[in-house]
Chain A
Amino acid sequence: MSALALLARNRLALGGLIVMALVVLLAILTPLLPLAPPNVTDTGNRFLPPFSPGAPLGTDHLGRDLLSRLMWGTRLSLAVGIAAAFVAATIGAAIGIVAGYYGGRTDNVIMRGVDMLMAFPYILLALAIVAALGPGLMNALIAVAAVNIPFFARNIRGITVGIAHKEFVDAARLSGMSDARIILTEILPNVVPVIVIAMSTTVGWMILETAGLSFLGLGSQPPVADLGSMLGEARAALITNPHTSIVPGLMILVIVMAINLLGDGIRDALDPRLKSGALNRPLPATLVAPDRQPESQQNDGILTLDNLQTQFRVKHRTYRAVGGVTLSVKPGECLGIIGESGSGKSVTALSVMGLVASPPGLVTGGSVHYRGDDLIGAPYRQLRSLRGSQIAYIFQDPLATLHPLYRIGDQLIEAIAVHHSISRAEGRKRAIDLLNAVRIPNAASRIDDYPHEMSGGMRQRVGIAMALANDPEVIIADEPTTALDVTVQAQILSLLDDLRRDRGLAIIFITHDFGVVGQLCDRVAVMYAGRIVEQGPTRAILDAPRHPYTARLMACVPELGAGKRRLEAIPGLPPPVDDLPPGCAFAPRCDRATDTCRRGDIALESAGDRALRCLQPVQPQEAMP
């Protein structure tokens, strides 16, 4: 979505924009308007009330036309405030980028200087600068800009440090760019949105500060008016002739309010984190479409998915992430779901417990049966009592799933306490037992570690311990070993295998690795573009894949012991799930596809313990490429 459209969606910001545009337009047009001269005194007509003939807003203590002074004053105040913001932003950003990019000693010297500047109370510093330079609007501008430089410098430095270590900056260096060029062409374009955000939220403040200095008589000098000096001059007549103060006061209020509302809007529209929908708080459970057709349970098993469909609806696009998946898993069984990124395997797993973020996620059809009950559309309380206690998840990145600020023991105890009322001592004992169960050495001492003190493999063991905390019946493991080294992966896989045998766990294991599936899973389902294309016992599928996608995907995987060679690649890319082709989704990449493959819906046909969604299957005697 464009930043402007996002801005317009925010009503208050739009209001601010309109008011600001009007004020700026009037300020620009002031010299052309038929106004009385602002600085000509006419003491005979002093303190005329508003709506007097010839003076719509009245006159001040020297009989000068207030409307004219207000317009000229606004012009001056806006110009000075905005100029100060530009000066502060330019110098502050330059300082911040240099400090953040070069780092080390440069950074230290610059930022300590900035810190010193910040140690002075702000208005005192401005007063000191004006006192040193002498009163006058230009000097007030310098003072206001100077006291705001640290704010920009610190903000921009923080952002720059993050960007300077990105790989594209290294790549630019290898392209022969000098430091100056990298700063200008690689860093700056990525920092500009932050500068704009910081400016939009501070320009109002700077107008106020300039007005403050003028109010104290240190800014604009008589007879020239800005909003601050108008207020200052009206101070003596505050009680007797309040309109002389109210007129500039209201203008300041309007300008600052409008700028702040607009600034907040700009920030929300430009901030990439907010753009991706972080402002929408996801619901506690995935939404279910009111027209969902529930399905009856088709297979036995402790957990079954029956024609489950999950979509993401973003604006006018519908992403069919899961397009009708039917699966089942029995106690003590390990079912593998294999597929490439974007095939819908993770969304399938998250849909089971209503963990797909809503909006934009939506379950549009099918059912998930756990011990015979349909979980889709179940009340949130029921889902919550099942989450973790009956059906638990293990995620890919334990560093992201463990809270960095709590000891792992406390997190384990919390996971138990959600479903059982236990004392702390008892919880601690249980937690140590769990850590022992996942074979963490010295469990009793490591229970007080923080997540960052453990290696990736040990953290994933904690993740598994947490999933086991309430003795669940089903564990859904979403690529639990992908982030780990192979030697550690081997340890984790054998641990999971032992756990399921000892505890009769049903495991749904999501992966992209045929080797892992082949070693751990009893049955496997192959997913492509949101649907299962082939399913059956692991050995049978790996020995004789029948779907061309399965066969060619297996051929892609380099296998140890085959020597240096050329790999079989699948040409092309998987189709985007918001624009699936009719017929078989794999047909565009398949060398067996015929015209009938590109038409209509192709059903998943079961034959014995295998199922296949293909019109041109690979025959068992055929050798695949």
Chain B
Amino acid sequence: MTTPALRLENLSKTFPLGRRLFGPERPGVRAVHPVTLEVMPGETLGIVGESGCGKSTLARMLVGLLPPTTGTIQIEGRALDNADPAVFGKRIQYVFQDPISSLNPRKTIRQIMEAPLKLLHGMDRAARAKRIAEIFATVSLREEFLDRYPHEFSGGQAQRIGIARALAAEARILILDEPVSALDVSVQAQVLNLLADLKARLGLTYLFISHDLAVVEAVSDRVAVLYFGSVVELGRAEDIFRAPRHPYTKLLADSAPVVGRPLTAPEARETELPDPLNPPGGCAFRARCPRASDLCAAKVPVLDGAGGRHAVACHHPLQD
């Protein structure tokens, strides 16, 4: 069996709420419940979820920007347990959501591109210039851009620069955190196609995070659906989109605006996400779920792939 490119085991994050002057310590906010996932080399794992579901917290833990509360991360079979982005940097890189604000406004593109080459790989000046030229050719950016400042670029160009910087570290795994949600649709397609080309050419592994189901479907081999900090459904993309098993996945799919579908709110009730300071017992989705029963209030469902179908964390999964 091949070693997974990325393996996380029981990774979780709890943000402390600070101590009270008197009385017991406050419990803290569980942003990510223990998650176990594997991503195979050359695979794209899509992570779908709405705001507040913990997808960005998860991504930041994977690149070492945030120390996990529990759990371990293995990259290509080797454990990484110290939260040091410089150690992570060579093996796993991150592409940010907002392309402009991820570039320092007071540095030229050349300075931004040189940092990972110099600091992670210790290249000399000539080697750096050669490598930057290679990378820019790969992401189809013109070299004359190198001496300009970030504010001179459009969102799509800036995102290409962000991707180029991630490639410069020569990591084989990229965490793409909503890489196209700040872009216009025509540019979004350019960037998605570029990402697909790069993956094929350089043999990269992607973790693609997005709130947009249609985008995730277009790029992913496997998909994990995140709700309130937990993976509620995990499986091959075509299985999940053809026959979602978790009622939340179904709700997401039914909510996406699609030409020709009549406009009805897929939820009868006007619902809000649960309060993270006061999390509900049992299944976090039950207040919004048409299939909820007493069992759902009593017991947290676990992710279970029994019965030959893809894994779902639900007491009453949908049938075909």
Q: Which residues of B contact A178 (CB under 8 A)?
A: 86
Q: A167-B96, A564-B237 are in contact. Are A486 and B273 (CB under 8 A)?
A: no
Q: Report whether A174 and B104 are in contact in the complex, using a CB–CB cutoff of 8 Å.
A: no
Interface hits, A471-492 → B, CB 8 Å: 485-487, 489-491
Q: In the complex, how many angstroms separate the beta carbon of A465 from the nearest chain B beta carbon?
A: 13
B264 at the interface (CB under 8 A from A): yes
Q: Which residues of A contact B260 (CB under 8 A)?
A: 518, 542
CB < 8 Å: which of B185, B213, B265 contacts A556?
B185
Q: Which residue of B lies closest to A538 (CB)?
A: B259
Interface hits, A498-530 → B, CB 8 Å: 512-520
Q: A167-B102, A491-B267, A567-B193 are in contact. Are A174 and B259 (CB under 8 A)?
A: no
B217 at the interface (CB under 8 A from A): yes
Q: Which residue of A lies closest to B177 (CB)?
A: A167
Q: A485-B51, A564-B237 are in contact. Are A512 and B189 (CB under 8 A)?
A: no
B19 at the interface (CB under 8 A from A): no
A559 at the interface (CB under 8 A from B): yes
Q: How far is the CA of A564 from the CA of B43 in the complex (A)?
A: 12
Most buried by B among A168, A518, A519, A520: A168
A37 at the interface (CB under 8 A from B): no
Q: Which residues of A contact B154 (CB under 8 A)?
A: 573
Q: How far is the CA of A419 from the CA of B68 in the complex (A)?
A: 54
Q: Which residue of B lies closest to A493 (CB)?
A: B263
A618 at the interface (CB under 8 A from B): no
Q: A177-B119, A542-B259 are in contact. Are A490 and B101 (CB under 8 A)?
A: no
Interface-side segment among B4-12, B74-82, B218-226: B218-226
Q: In the complex, how many angstroms separate the beta carbon of B315 from the nearest chain A beta carbon?
A: 21
Q: Report whether A176 and B51 are in contact in the complex, using a CB–CB cutoff of 8 Å.
A: no
A-B contact count (CB 8 A): 204
Q: Which residues of B contact A176 (CB under 8 A)?
A: 85-86, 89-90, 115-116, 119-120, 169
CB < 8 Å: which of A441, A455, A560, A563 contacts B273?
A455
Q: Report whether B218 and A174 are in contact in the complex, using a CB–CB cutoff of 8 Å.
A: no
Q: In the complex, how many angstroms separate the beta carbon of B247 from the nearest chain A beta carbon?
A: 12
A456 at the interface (CB under 8 A from B): yes
CB < 8 Å: which of B98, B105, B116 contacts A190?
B105
Q: Which residues of B contact A557 (CB under 8 A)?
A: 185, 214
CB < 8 Å: which of A168, A170, A515, A565 contacts B259?
A515
Q: Report whether B89 and A175 are in contact in the complex, using a CB–CB cutoff of 8 Å.
A: yes
Q: Which residue of A lies closest to B97 (CB)?
A: A167
Q: Report whether A493 and B257 are in contact in the complex, using a CB–CB cutoff of 8 Å.
A: yes
A171 at the interface (CB under 8 A from B): yes
Q: Which residues of B contact A596 (CB under 8 A)?
A: none
Most buried by A among B85, B119, B259, B264: B259
Q: Which residues of A contact B270 (CB under 8 A)?
A: 439-441, 491
Q: A167-B101, A174-B89 are in contact. Are A485 and B50 (CB under 8 A)?
A: yes
Q: Which residues of A contact B185 (CB under 8 A)?
A: 340, 512, 553, 556-557
Most buried by A among B107, B185, B187, B270: B185
Q: How far is the CA of A456 from the CA of B253 in the complex (A)?
A: 20
A494 at the interface (CB under 8 A from B): yes
- Indicate with 1 or 0, residue by residue over A429-450, a CB within 8 angstroms of chain B CB atoms: 0000000000111000000000
A458 at the interface (CB under 8 A from B): yes
Q: Which residues of A contact B259 (CB under 8 A)?
A: 514-515, 517-519, 542, 559
Q: In the complex, how many angstroms separate the beta carbon of A324 from the nearest chain B beta carbon?
A: 23
Q: Which residue of A lies closest to B260 (CB)?
A: A518
A224 at the interface (CB under 8 A from B): no
Q: In the complex, how many angstroms separate the beta carbon of A566 from the nearest chain B beta carbon?
A: 6
B93 at the interface (CB under 8 A from A): yes
Q: Which residue of A lies closest to B197 (CB)?
A: A566
Q: Report whether A487 and B189 are in contact in the complex, using a CB–CB cutoff of 8 Å.
A: no
Q: Which residues of A contact B221 (CB under 8 A)?
A: 564
Q: Which residues of A contact B266 (CB under 8 A)?
A: 487, 490
Q: Which residue of B lies closest to A461 (CB)?
A: B270
Q: In the complex, how many angstroms separate the beta carbon of B171 from the nearest chain A beta carbon?
A: 9
Q: Report whether A518 and B257 are in contact in the complex, using a CB–CB cutoff of 8 Å.
A: yes
CB < 8 Å: which of B94, B190, B193 contacts A171?
B94
Q: A497-B263, A559-B214, A563-B241 are in contact. Are A568 and B189 (CB under 8 A)?
A: yes
Q: How far is the CA of A515 from the CA of B256 in the complex (A)?
A: 8
Q: How far is the CA of A281 from the CA of B116 in the complex (A)?
A: 44
Q: In the complex, how many angstroms separate the beta carbon of B227 from the nearest chain A beta carbon?
A: 11
Q: Which residues of A contact B218 (CB under 8 A)?
A: 558, 562-565, 567
B186 at the interface (CB under 8 A from A): yes
B156 at the interface (CB under 8 A from A): yes
Q: Report whether A560 and B214 are in contact in the complex, using a CB–CB cutoff of 8 Å.
A: yes
A569 at the interface (CB under 8 A from B): yes
Q: Which residues of B contact A560 (CB under 8 A)?
A: 213-214, 217, 241, 253, 256, 258
- Indicate with 1 or 0, residue by residue over A567-587, a CB within 8 angstroms of chain B CB atoms: 111110100000000000000
Q: A177-B119, A565-B218 are in contact. Are A487 and B255 (CB under 8 A)?
A: yes
A186 at the interface (CB under 8 A from B): yes
Q: List 16 A-B contacts (CB under 8 A).
A: A168-B104, A171-B94, A175-B165, A176-B89, A176-B115, A177-B119, A440-B270, A490-B254, A490-B257, A490-B266, A497-B263, A512-B184, A542-B259, A560-B256, A562-B217, A564-B219
Residues of chain A at the chain B interface (Cβ within 8 Å): 166-168, 170-178, 181, 185-186, 189-190, 340-341, 439-441, 455-458, 485-487, 489-491, 493-495, 497, 512-520, 542, 552-553, 556-571, 573
Contacts A455-B272, A512-B184, A564-B238 aside, 19 further interface pairs with beta carbons under 8 A come to: A168-B101, A170-B96, A171-B96, A171-B103, A174-B85, A486-B211, A487-B50, A487-B252, A518-B257, A518-B258, A542-B260, A552-B186, A560-B241, A560-B256, A562-B217, A564-B218, A564-B221, A567-B192, A569-B189
